[in-house]
Amino acid sequence: MRVLLASTGGSGHFTPLVPFIDALAARGDEVLVVAPARLEAVLAAREQPYRVCPEPPPAVLGPVMTRVLTLPVNPGVIVATREVFGGLHLTSMLPVVEEACRSWRPDLVLHESYEYASVVAAERHGIPHARVAVTAARFSLFTDAVLPTVLEPYGTDLLEKLRASPYLTRFPASVDPSPYAVTRRYHEPAAAGTEPSADRWGGDGDPLVYLTLGTEAGGMPNAPALYRAALDAVGTLPVRVLVTVGSGTDVSRLGPLPPQVRVERWVPQAEVLAGASAVVCHGGSGTVFGALSAGVPLVCVPLFADQPTNARLVAEAGAGVAVEPTGSAEAEAAPLGPADIPRIREAVETVLKEPSYRTAAARLGAETRATPTAGELLDDLAGLAGLGGGDARGAAGS
């Protein structure tokens, strides 16, 4: 089978495609990845062929993103979907994706949820396509409502065809019922022999709290203030704290660190979660997926995009606590105010002390692990694409 995979920029958009890329490569299928130039270093470090798309001009993208980040969450999401993903990224990626469909002739196109150029190109060339969720289905349904005006110039029924295509998600059905008729759920198994991260505390046995703001928030100008507020919340608790800040945060701006806090640029998430008692995060899908799969309860402090939706899903499932920020939303100020610090601290204490949160997280982890792996799902996708080899392992979830 020959499969084209397409992603917009950003780790949170590309990473969900990786299990499928790896599984396809392991099967000996042909793979071609198409993504913006900002992901070229990531793609170049892998073995699969790729094609790079031009980035939207900074002079155009910058003001739109500034507007997105200064609007309230839902209006900001609408602008990002319409003007960034459905406008600038679609326009910049379409020529490369369409040429790949024309000249390389894939049997199937897999795209992350907010990469729309490949949907246009696949439909023009009669190629089956499926979308790999990077958010909860509840959030995808919300952003789908923006798409008629985005996709209409490329075809009057593209939204219907997108919604009818297979929807592949890592969220367990009990947390995130799906409105999409052809929903397939999967999980990414932990690497063989995954062990907790190396001890950084000299044998201290206090509970380990993993604190992360993901890849996008870590690169924002107010990231040090966000991390400082979160550290002030957990730094006085009798816990060990491992903080990952990514490459874009100036660690020196975090200020003095409590003795039980360790800061790293990056640590393999599976290794941290293998020994963690709780996760404090902004509710990004990648962290939420990972924590639930590992059965680790969360404290979610949502900031933007799909994070409020994810935080609510976690809280509704009893697998954690959502702490809605009350602070300023100004671009250069921390959206976490002084009143939020004791609220976050109390939420962490609650999650650590009350066993029901870990019980609920463990239940969701078991539910997730009962789904097919991405590799097992490929036969089902081949069947849906009319390529043969379909089976019942990827039964629909609702």
Q: Is 397 helix (H, G, I), strand (E, B) or coil?
A: coil
Domain 2-187+371-384: CATH architecture, name and number where available: 3-Layer(aba) Sandwich (3.40)
Every domain of the chain with CATH number 3.40.50.2000 lies at 2-187+371-384, 208-368
Greater model confidence, 315 or 262: 315
Fold of 208-368: Rossmann fold (3.40.50)
pTM above 0.75, yes or no: yes
- Report the pLDDT value the prediction gives residue 393, as an integer from 0 to 100: 34
- Report the pLDDT value the prediction gives residue 387, as an integer from 0 to 100: 62
What DSSP character marks residue 190? Answer: P
Q: Edge-to-edge strand order for the sheet containing 261-264?
A: 261-264, 240-244, 208-212, 278-281, 298-300, 320-322
Measure CA of the first residue to CA of the last residue in the chain; give whole Å.
28
- Torsion angle, CA of 376/377/380/382, rounded to 10 degrees? -100
The answer to whether the CB of 203 falls within 8 A of the CB of 272 is no
Over residues 93-148, the pLDDT tens digits come to 999 999 999 999 999 999 999 999 999 999 999 999 999 999 999 999 999 999 99
Closest-CA residue to 311 (of 288, 337, 283, 338)? 283
Interval 47-64 mean pLDDT: 95
